[in-house]
Chains A and B, each alone.
Chain A
């Protein structure tokens, strides 16, 4: 019997109800019994197990309280909470982190009972060709069959020698996707396996999220990673958050920015097309039309140069502003010298520096020579005046002025500003140059290498930094060594000759390659095993878009997907879904049934309109065999992940895996062991890469983490076997006497301890200075535990901190010392030779304001591929160096007058499979929505909450309208331009489901890394 009395009924009850109330007085309030009634603490006397959050790249710690006595197949989790000891989050946790229990268990909303999340897949599943359902299979059957398919395809399509007679050992019919959510140890094994198999189509999430970060930062600073780390944000005087909604996508940043605001009176600036939860907590919010970052930042650079707001001494000593550029460099109407329209590429030799006779760079330390980089920069950006910029970006002039004055003030030597960015910056046809513009701005203001400064690329997957370091990408090998190309690097000697620079730390590259090869093929000399590596076709693009274009053309037979969901997350998702149907077989490894693993179902065919641009097939028409392997979650296994700030942190195992699910580490180990068995006894030279592969990680299918970690760290090879570990990469050799899985990680396991497991959170404070939050004894950080890279720049040329209150390192007269590990020669005298060459990873050994990229040595504003506005700064319609895949799919304002963009919310994560499967997160964001201004909604007759259809040349998508004051039309060159935006997390599975926004986005990418232009395209919207 239930008591159902509404408020109205109570009020109707009148006097009698009042009288009834006195019953309380009869029973009285039993204050003494309160304590007795309070339930006992559920986690009392339970030791929690530390883990690291599996979502964004912040690397927050969490602790898992479990009931160890509960059977493995039943609920075990009592509670999962922020780890109070972890210096990054100090116990804090956003909704995704707080909901971590739902990855395994939920409370049933009917009964309230705790149970295993029914979305988790407990047994391997197989989908036969033409079928519309899964069949459960056992692991042995699955892995045997997968190994056989793999061998069949490899053997059929393998190229041992190419037409030029070069040993290439490649198989271009199998692709591997995904891995950014896996542990480092898992990435290492997958990377190693794929290379041994000869796979060239090897890509993962980093391509489509931050590849342009590496493409922009590495040529500028020497490395492609976030320069500082999360705890360090407390030291900033001003944070410029542009192209990121960090309060939502990297929530813990606001812990440290709030701290900076409280303690330092720091200012927070947010530049974004839409007013977000980040804007709500910013001091200055400046709207900017999507795809106009270079205009926005270019205007700032111009303002700094015109008003001499740059940090002059810093610029003089630590950048190439003083370098003289050759006479052949020039620029006219959006094109640099050396452009070839036919190939849409540049002859980059036109942009060389002038050299002295002795081979050194020609410089002008006064920076007044008209051919020096500073003067060329000044000339280049002189066109970016405030009015022109605001006409392009749509930023109100007064807001832009506020940004200029506030941020450019950090050029003062005792002030530091940080730039925080993410996908709003990177996912453009000018993604690399967007990042470059930030990096250049920070060099001019003297904000690199300093506490509270940096270019902070906020990475969005828990281990996407690690998986990038592991080179789960076609163009690099672990540790950022280029993959061999057949003609360019036909053999070991040629590779070293072409790839090794004469100056900068990369001159040690042969040691890193040699050690990597020894790690893969320990019994062979690197000069021989070099040829086991697949060599790609020179200049061929194997990146994400190219991979799916090849698949769409039927060029691929097999695909491995390691926790990735391109049917939701890939650009032009309709085309990518259609491409999957051309595969012969696919292996998907995931916790759940993602939209990609179920691309062959009837659900996957449903569309809001009859349009079908790419020929989506129904289950009976799809011949692809699909193997689904259930993986266990992040706290059901152990291993390390590397956060955006390069901290390599350990996750301990807290629970039993759900059902028969297994760690990816076990899966890849088991699979490769079976493949090796299949090839056992083969005498064909093309099978040597597999047969000679060193693959021994412990018994019974449970690889030993420590064996793998020691291999990652590197060791001396003694009699073809692992000997003592090396201290770090400075001990690696180029003669085949050392082995190392990834030189960047060398030093993580120097003796008997995996340093990633370190949990001493006492900050390091050098005598006579203030601690800066380096936490050198918490986990381990690459390179060799340096927390802020390029920290030589935190000091004056003479070696003293620019700001003693935020001192990172300094010269004590004999050596560099301080609160961080010097990213510099420990005993290199600042007044001696090379004593001011602060960027050790660049051949120039300084920060590069001028550097060669495929579209030029300086950023120039180009409109997005699809844009509502002609370029006001030059006559190029879009980036002149990009590859155009589908020219017929370029929408114009005639049919598609609205700028469209996609983004994320805090409650969901990436392609959504992880979070839509969790009730606690589904209830916070249950549906996909399209945000639009009140003005546009009125024009289109759309009401808040209405169903709408958004269309582009690629397809349609239905979602709910969110009509808001937080989106405003932009005034662009005198005309109003509307922009809308939508969440891209949704797909047809889960507690929260919806249509993928990426059915709208184009197959077009950046000129250097082909990162897709997810963030600015043309569309139209109407009521459904």
Chain B
């Protein structure tokens, strides 16, 4: 099956956040009500019950004046996902068409994936002691439907389809935008991290959308992938022992400190 993905064109997005709510409707997610912090973007990041958010970034350019950039933000469904590499339970897998699927039945809520992810997307859901994230609506796509977010997008900023075709559309669009007032327009997700299964058309450089210009998997993860994994056979006993120690110590530490703030808990 060909790779299927979303194309998100920020130049057409009005930040209505229909996608954010449609995602909640389809994925049966409760609201997470946080107070207003001086920005329309009420959730600073995704969380255990919010798989996708829209970021709002305002700024001023000496020539173009005020701008207000919007970015729908969620799991990038990387070709080579770090979350999958690090998951000790094998809860992550790739579908034949490119979604990074997380199986909650296998998840033990250890959150290694959160730290391994260059975008810190997988989030912890306390009430079930599990990780959650955008599923790319695998249940819908497997039945021939589009993901809830793309289905609801009123302006057509968000579309879903064959990645190669969407990439062509994105390239055309970037060309058009560059010639029509957005000289720094660019595609994001084509090559980043070896390819993302989410494509973006940006009207400016990625940093203006709070996206890492050159995202990287944290050093420890690549170290493991490049050096440890090839010899994992003889490392198994060490690993098992290490994991036992690691789990016990970190859990004790965690319970002692009661530090809930960084794991994306509500």
Does B220 touch A at the CB level, under 8 Å? yes
Q: Is the beta-carbon distance between B112 and A21 smaller than 8 angstroms?
A: yes
Q: Which chain A residues have a beta carbon within 8 Å of chain B's beta carbons? A: 1-13, 15-31, 33-35, 37-42, 44, 79-82, 89, 91-95, 97-99, 101, 106-112, 114, 247-248, 251-252, 254-255, 258-259, 275, 277-281, 283, 285, 905-907, 919-927, 929, 944-945, 960-966, 968, 991-992
B116 → chain A closest CB, angstroms: 8
A110 touches B127 (CB 8 A): yes
In the complex, besides A3-B251, A4-B254, 17 extra interface pairs with C-beta distance below 8 angstroms are A4-B263, A6-B261, A9-B259, A10-B115, A22-B232, A26-B239, A31-B94, A38-B138, A38-B139, A93-B18, A95-B21, A109-B49, A112-B28, A112-B128, A251-B14, A920-B24, A991-B31
- Find out whether the CB atom of A963 lies under 8 angstroms from the CB atom of B85: no
Cβ–Cβ contact A1 & B129, under 8 A: yes
User: Interface readout for B83-96 with A: 1 if CB under 8 Å, 0 if not?
Assistant: 01111111011111
Q: Are B18 and A251 in contact (CB under 8 A)?
A: yes
Cross-chain contact B115 with A926 (CB below 8 angstroms): no
| Pairwise interchain contact A44-B143, C-beta atoms closer than 8 A | yes
A/B interface sample: 15 pairs, CB < 8 A: A3-B108, A4-B263, A5-B111, A16-B245, A20-B88, A24-B87, A24-B89, A31-B93, A92-B153, A251-B14, A255-B156, A277-B70, A920-B21, A924-B42, A968-B66
Chain B residues, CB < 8 A from A99: 21, 24-25
Check A923–B32 contact: CB distance below 8 A: yes
- Residue in chain A with minimal CB distance to B17: A95
Contacts of B145 in A (CB 8 A): 41
CB of B33 closer than 8 Å to a CB of A: yes
Closest-by-CB residue of A relative to B116 is A21
Q: Which partner residue on chain B sits nearest A943 by CB separation?
A: B38
Q: Name A97's contact: one of B18, B148, B253 (CB within 8 Å).
A: B18
Cross-chain contact B93 with A10 (CB below 8 angstroms):
no
Q: Is A111's CB under 8 angstroms from B127's CB?
A: yes
- A660 CA to B151 CA, complexed, in Å: 34
Contacts of A92 in B (CB 8 A): 18, 152-156
**Option from A3, A12, A82, A279 in Cβ contact (under 8 Å) with B129:** A3
Q: Write the nearest CB–CB distance from A62 to chain B, whole angstroms.
A: 10
Contact A923 B34 (CB under 8 A): yes
A15 to chain B, nearest CB (A): 7
Asked if B20 CB lies within 8 Å of chain A CBs, one says: yes
Complex interface: chain B residues within 8 A of A944 (CB): 38
A8 to chain B, nearest CB (A): 7
B88 surroundings in chain A (CB, below 8 A): 20-21, 23-24, 27
The answer to whether B235 has its CB under 8 Å from any CB of chain A is: yes
A923 cross-chain contacts in B, Cβ below 8 A? 31-34, 42-43, 50
- CB–CB A4/B260 < 8 A: yes
Residues A907 and B25 in contact, CB atoms below 8 Å apart = no
* Contact with A17, one of B17, B18, B220, B260 (Cβ below 8 angstroms): B220
Task: Find the A residue at minimum CB distance from B244.
Answer: A20
The residue of chain A having its C-beta at the shortest distance from the C-beta of B105 within the complex is A37
Q: Which one of B17, B20, B262 contacts A6 once the chains associate, using CB atoms below 8 Å?
A: B262
B62 within 8 Å of A (CB atoms):
no
Q: In the assembled complex, how far is the CB of residue A582 from the closest CB belonging to chain B, in whole angstroms?
A: 36
Instruction: Report B236-263 CB contacts with A as 1/0, cut-off 8 Å.
Output: 1011111101110111011100111111
Q: How far is the CB of B57 from chain A (nearest CB, A)?
A: 11
Q: Mark B3-34, 1 if CB is under 8 A from A, else 0.
A: 00000000111111110111011101111111
Q: Which chain B positions have C-beta within 8 A of A5? A: 110-111, 250-251, 254, 263
Which of A18, A40, A109, A275 is B68 in contact with, Cβ under 8 Å?
A: A275
B52 at the interface (CB under 8 A from A): no
Distance in angstroms between the alpha carbons of A258 and B9 in the assembled complex = 12
**A7→B140 CA distance, assembly (Å):** 33
Tell me the B100-114 residues at the A interface (CB within 8 Å). 101, 103, 105, 108-112, 114
Minimum CB–CB distance from B159 to chain A (whole Å) comes to 12
CB pair A965 B58 closer than 8 Å: yes
B194 at the interface (CB under 8 A from A): no
Residues from chain A with a CB closer than 8 A to the CB of B246 are: 13, 16-17, 19-20
Whether B127 pairs with A966 at a CB distance below 8 angstroms is no
Interface 1/0 per residue, B153-190 and A, CB below 8 Å: 11111000000000000000000000001000000000
In the complex the two chains form, is A20's CB within 8 Å of B90's CB?
Answer: no
Assess whether B33 is in contact with A22, with CB atoms less than 8 Å apart: no
Check A19–B86 contact: CB distance below 8 A. Answer: no
Across-interface contacts of A279 in B (CB, < 8 A): 68
Q: How far is the CA of A101 from the CA of B224 in the complex (A)?
A: 46
Q: Given A919-B31, A919-B33, is A19 in contact with B235 using a C-beta cutoff of 8 Å?
A: yes
A25 touches B253 (CB 8 A): no
Check if A81 sits within 8 Å of B239, measured CB to CB: no
Please state if B108 and A30 are interface contacts (CB–CB under 8 Å). Answer: no
Bound together, the chains give a CA A281 to CA B223 distance in angstroms of 44
Shortest C-beta distance, B32 to chain A (Å), equals 6
Q: Is B216 an interface residue (CB 8 A)?
A: no
CA distance A657 to B100 in the complex (A): 40
A3 vs B58: C-alpha distance in the bound complex, in angstroms? 37
**Cα A29 to Cα B239 with chains together (Å):** 18
Residues of chain A contacted by B29 (CB below 8 angstroms): 107
The CA of A926 and the CA of B36, in the complex, are separated in Å by 6
Most chain B CB neighbours (cut-off 10 Å) among A15, A25, A31, A82: A25
Residue B214 lies at the interface, judged by CB distance under 8 Å to chain A? no
Kindly state the separation between the CA atoms of A248 and B56 in the bound complex, as whole angstroms: 14
Tell me, in angstroms, the Cα distance from A39 to B27 when the chains sit together: 11
Chain A proximity of B111: nearest CB distance (Å):
5
- Which residues on A sit within 8 Å (CB–CB) of B249? 13, 16
Could you say which residues of chain A place their CB within 8 Å of the CB of B15?
277, 280
Point out the residues of chain B lying under 8 angstroms from A79, CB to CB: 25-26
Residue interface mask B54-71, A partner, CB < 8 A = 1:
000011100001111110
Most chain B Cβ neighbours within 10 Å, of A22, A26, A40, A924: A22
Instruction: List residues of chain B with CB within 8 A of the CB of A34.
Output: 93-96, 101
Quote the shortest CB–CB distance from B100 to chain A (angstroms).
10
Once the chains bind, are B68 and A4 in contact (CB under 8 Å)? no
> Nearest chain A CB to B37's CB is how many angstroms away?
6
Asked if B126 CB lies within 8 Å of chain A CBs, one says: yes
Instruction: Closest B residue to A2 by CB, please name it.
Output: B129
Give the docked Cα–Cα distance between A179 and B265 (Å).
43
| Interfacial chain B residues near A12, Cβ < 8 Å | 253
Report the bound CA distance from A8 to B115 in whole Å: 9
Q: Does the CB pair B143–A41 fall under 8 Å?
A: yes
Option from A4, A13, A38, A924 in Cβ contact (under 8 Å) with B21 = A924
Given that A251-B16, A254-B14 are known contacts, is A21 also in contact with B94, CB under 8 Å in the complex?
no
A1 to B110, CA, bound (A): 12
Q: Is A965 in contact with B152, judged by CB distance below 8 angstroms? A: no
Chain B residues with CB under 8 A of A26: 232, 236, 239
Residues of chain B contacted by A965 (CB below 8 angstroms):
58-60, 66
Instruction: Report the bound CA distance from A829 to B52 in whole Å.
Output: 59
| Neighbour of A38 across the interface among B31, B94, B142, CB < 8 A | B142
Contact B30 A112 (CB under 8 A): yes
A278 nearest in chain B by CB position: B14
Kindly list chain B residues whose C-beta atoms are within 8 Å of the C-beta of A22.
Answer: 224, 228-229, 232, 235-236, 239
B contact residues around A254 at 8 Å (CB)? 12, 14, 154-155
Within the complex, the shortest CB–CB distance from A212 to chain B, in Å, comes to 27
Assembled-state Cα–Cα distance A974/B67 (Å) = 26
**Given contacts A10-B250, A27-B90, are A4 and B259 in contact (CB under 8 A)?**
yes
- Cα-based distance from A40 to B240 in the complex (angstroms): 36
A81 touches B126 (CB 8 A): no
Q: Does B204 contact A (CB under 8 A)?
A: no
A10 to B259, CA, bound (A): 13
CA distance A11 to B219 in the complex (A): 11
In the complex, A278 Cα to B13 Cα: how many Å? 10
Q: Is the CB of B31 within 8 A of A920?
A: yes
Which residues B207-241 have CB closer than 8 A to chain A? Answer: 220-221, 223-224, 228-229, 232, 235-236, 238-241
The closest CB in chain B to the CB of A15 belongs to B242
State the Cβ distance, A270 to closest chain B Cβ, in Å: 12
Are B31 and A2 interface neighbours, CB within 8 A? Answer: no
